[in-house]
Chain A
Amino acid sequence: AQSVTQPDIHITVSEGASLELRCNYSYGATPYLFWYVQSPGQGLQLLLKYFSGDTLVQGIKGFEAEFKRSQSSFNLRKPSVHWSDAAEYFCAVSGGGNAGNMLTFGGGTRLMVKP
């Protein structure tokens, strides 16, 4: 069964500092990987996705993520954090075949930004 682990429950960074949120997945074949962001009381917005090809993917709002098969990781990065980036971030995986396209999410990382 597929699973996702986000080791950091909370992260606090200063505005303007760089950011890296960790994500580790477990899936037998090549996974489809996603990062979503959720503001308080809101739905999920897709930041970026990896399906195949270039392992460094660019997303919206200046975010990027790198797929590392050898480490089963898909970490999210941003070079300079803005106060508006404070939110909950979720990594998710889906597979093909019998797994269909159901998403399995990690527990999330809450990002706080210090002025």
Chain B
Amino acid sequence: DAGVTQSPTHLIKTRGQQVTLRCSPKSGHDTVSWYQQALGQGPQFIFQYYEEEERQRGNFPDRFSGHQFPNYSSELNVNALLLGDSALYLCASSFPGSHEQYFGPGTRLTVT
């Protein structure tokens, strides 16, 4: 049973560019959440998708957007990248209504 998978593992982008990160949830999970973890800090909630809709959103600007596909996989898009967007982006999945989330290995984004 595959756990949560994310791609790519690492990514280097230039300021002003756009990036797309991908996540496949654990088998049987239909809810996907995204978190940003800056170096030396705890993860911060970006948003959550369920039934292909954004259900909750944290305190992140509109440059951060997402999508969920019918197979429950999800994408995180960040436009107009800033140096401060450099971080580890974590995807987590869960069963409907469950508070227990399973995390993927993350995507390390570096903005230069």
Residue B48 CB within 8 A of the other chain: yes
Query: A43-B106, A101-B94, A102-B33 known; A51 and B99 CB under 8 Å?
Result: yes
Neighbouring A residues of B40 by C-beta, 8 Å: 108
Task: Say yes or no: B90 contacts A101, CB within 8 Å.
Answer: no
Digitize B26-49: 1 where CB-to-A-CB distance is under 8 Å, 0 elsewhere.
000001010100001111110010
Give B33's nearest chain A residue, CB to CB. Answer: A102
Instruction: Give the distance to chain B from A36, nearest Cβ to Cβ, in Å.
Output: 8
B contact residues, total (Cβ < 8 Å): 28
A contact residues, total (Cβ < 8 Å): 25
Residue A100 CB within 8 A of the other chain: yes
Instruction: Give the distance to chain B from A92, nearest Cβ to Cβ, in Å.
Output: 8
Residue B71 CB within 8 A of the other chain: no
How distant is the Cα of A45 from the Cα of B105 in the complex, in angstroms?
Answer: 10
Query: A41-B108, A100-B55 known; A46 and B43 CB under 8 Å?
Result: no
How distant is the Cα of A75 from the Cα of B92 in the complex, in angstroms?
Answer: 24
How distant is the Cα of A33 from the Cα of B110 in the complex, in angstroms?
Answer: 31
The residue from B35, B42, B92, B99 contacting A106, defined by CB atoms under 8 A apart = B42
Give B31's nearest chain A residue, CB to CB. Answer: A101
Neighbouring B residues of A105 by C-beta, 8 Å: 42-44
Task: Say yes or no: A102 contacts B56, CB within 8 Å.
Answer: yes
Neighbouring A residues of B98 by C-beta, 8 Å: 101
Given contacts A45-B103, A100-B55, 20 further A-B contacts (CB under 8 A): A41-B108, A43-B103, A43-B104, A43-B106, A44-B92, A96-B99, A101-B31, A101-B94, A101-B98, A102-B33, A102-B48, A102-B58, A103-B45, A103-B92, A104-B45, A105-B42, A107-B42, A108-B40, A108-B41, A108-B42
Q: What residues make up the interface of B, taking CB atoms closer than 8 Å to A?
A: 4, 31, 33, 35, 40-45, 48, 55-56, 58, 90, 92, 94, 97-106, 108
